[in-house]
Amino acid sequence: MKAWILEDTNGPESFTLAEVETPEPGPGEVRVEIVTSGLNHLDLWVSRGLPAPDSFPHVAGGDAAGKVDAVGDGVDGWEKGDEVIVDPSLSCGECDQCKHDEIVYCDSFSILGEHRPGTLGEFVVVPTRNLRPKHPDLSWDVAGTFGLATGTAYRMLKRARLRGGERVLVVGVGGGVSSTALQVARALGARVWVTSRSPDKIEWAKQHGAEGGFDSSGDFSKEVKGTTDGGVDIVIENVGPATWDQSIRSMRKGGRMAICGGTTGSKVELSLPALFFKQLEIIGSSMATHSQFARAVHMVESGGVPIAVDSVHDFERLPDAISRLESGEQMGKMVIRR
Ligand SMILES: [Zn+2]
């Protein structure tokens, strides 16, 4: 099959279109012929060796939708031609955590395209537990691109125990997870405000349900408190050091901050009095369980969470999509179409 492969970890320029062996499904696995796949910042990090693939050539990519093409031994309930969405969360499937659908706590938890061959080829092989049926009304462009970010955003809001009517601040709304978190939070009944350095992105967020937006590069916490009657209940963070202090200050007493990354660095300073006097909670979150992924799929299928498509790119033109992702100018998902 044709695939965009990495032979090294020198960065996104290393993606090369090549002929590789078509993967065969093992017991309990299914081969999916990919119709559309998506891009996430994770794909760029993998190309830089963060984390490094186990072997080369490596096929990156976590998001995809397609048609079942071949099934391995012992596979029940899936047939050639079934239309599916691929869940990118991989785990052993056998330990206590996996048996209780806490796959994100499995010792062998990983993400499709990180260590195992991913979705930037013509085919991908995954265990059947990583398949969700694709609703016929859902477009291929959306089906293959929303999963990783939407599942992650859904879990963050669940980890932060969002209740209807609560106030949520999404910091850096331009990112894939953040822009989806805005829509998922709205669908779950929250009132949402956002921050961004880009007035265009704030405007986009307002058109998609945000009540207001603030400039990320300034001291936005004062404005947040003034606008939200004293602060928000929940902050969705993945910017890190550049916004950390303002994000902490934006919370009211009892506030919860869910974090799934730090695009501006990995270390922050924390004021302990702010933490205990305001009784704040800082909550790490990563990816989603299979049932949370299924819930996210349902929210998108039912129209509760509209997915914005930024642009569509031919499979052969992957580097165009990667450049756009690196530029940070996109607003929504980039589709890689076969
Ligand atoms: Zn496990």
Ligand 1 centroid–CA 275 distance in Å is 33
Distance from Cα 88 to the centre of ligand 1, integer Å: 15
- When pLDDT is cut at 50, 70 and 90, the band that residue 331 belongs to is confident
Mean pLDDT of 317-334: 92
Checking phi first, is residue 206 left (phi over 0); if not, alpha (psi -120 to 50) or beta?
A: alpha
Please give the mean pLDDT across all residues of the chain.
96
Rounded alpha-carbon distances, angstroms, from residue 153 to 100, 180, 183, 206, 332: 21, 6, 9, 18, 14
Q: 262 alpha carbon to ligand 1 midpoint, in Å?
A: 26
Rounded distance from Cα 68 to ligand 1 centre (Å) = 25
Q: Ligand 1 centroid vs 45 CA: distance in angstroms? A: 24
Span 74-100, pLDDT tens digits: 999 999 999 999 999 999 999 999 999
* pLDDT tens-digit series, residues 256-307: 999 999 989 999 999 999 999 999 999 999 999 999 999 999 999 999 999 9
For 152, the enclosing helix (H) or strand (E) is helix 147-159
Distance of alpha carbon 173 from alpha carbon 179, whole angstroms: 5
Residue 286 CA, ligand 1 centroid: distance in Å = 16
Residue 328 has what pLDDT? 85
The CA 217 to ligand 1 mean position distance, Å, reads 41
Query: How far away, in angstroms, is 129 Cα from ligand 1 center?
Result: 13
Q: What is the pLDDT of residue 174?
A: 87
Give 214-246 pLDDT, tens digit per residue: 999 999 999 999 999 999 999 999 999 999 999
Q: Quick one: what percent of the chain has pLDDT higher than 70?
A: 100
Query: Beta strands 191-196 and 167-170: pairing type?
Result: parallel
The domain made up of 152-284 is a member of CATH 3.40.50.20: no
> Does residue 332 carry a pLDDT above 90?
no
Chain centroid to CA 296: 11
pLDDT digits (tens, 9 = 90+) for 193-218: 999 999 999 999 999 999 999 999 99
Percentage of the chain beyond pLDDT 90 is 96
pLDDT range class, residue 329, cuts 50, 70, 90: confident
State pLDDT tens for residues 137-186.
Answer: 999 999 999 999 999 999 999 999 999 999 999 999 988 899 999 999 99
Q: Are 330 and 311 in contact (CB under 8 A)?
A: yes
* Interstrand relation of 232-237 and 251-259 (parallel, antiparallel or unpaired): parallel
Using the mean position of ligand 1's atoms as its centre, give its distance from the Cα of residue 64 in Å. 23
Q: Residue 291 C-alpha to ligand 1 middle, in angstroms? A: 15
* d(CA 238, ligand 1 centre) in Å: 26
Q: State the distance from the centre of ligand 1 to the C-alpha of 113, rounded, in angstroms.
A: 18
In the reported structure, the alpha carbon of residue 76 is separated from the centroid of ligand 1 by a whole-number distance in angstroms of 21
pLDDT per position as a tens digit, 261-274:
998 999 999 999 99
Which pLDDT band, with edges at 50, 70 and 90, does 105 fall under? very high
Distance between Cα 289 and ligand 1 center (Å): 12
What's the confidence (pLDDT) of residue 293?
Answer: 98
Ligand 1 centroid distance, CA of 105 (Å) = 8
- Ligand 1 centroid to 62 CA: how many Å? 19
CATH class of 2-146+307-337: alpha beta
State the average pLDDT over residues 49-63: 94
Tell me how far the alpha carbon of residue 155 lies from the centroid of ligand 1, in angstroms. Answer: 18
| CA–centroid distance, residue 128 to ligand 1 (Å) | 15
Sign of the alpha-carbon torsion through 271, 276, 280, 283: positive
For CATH 3.90.180.10, list the domain ranges present in the chain: 2-146+307-337, 152-284
Query: What pLDDT is stored for residue 303 in this prediction?
Result: 94
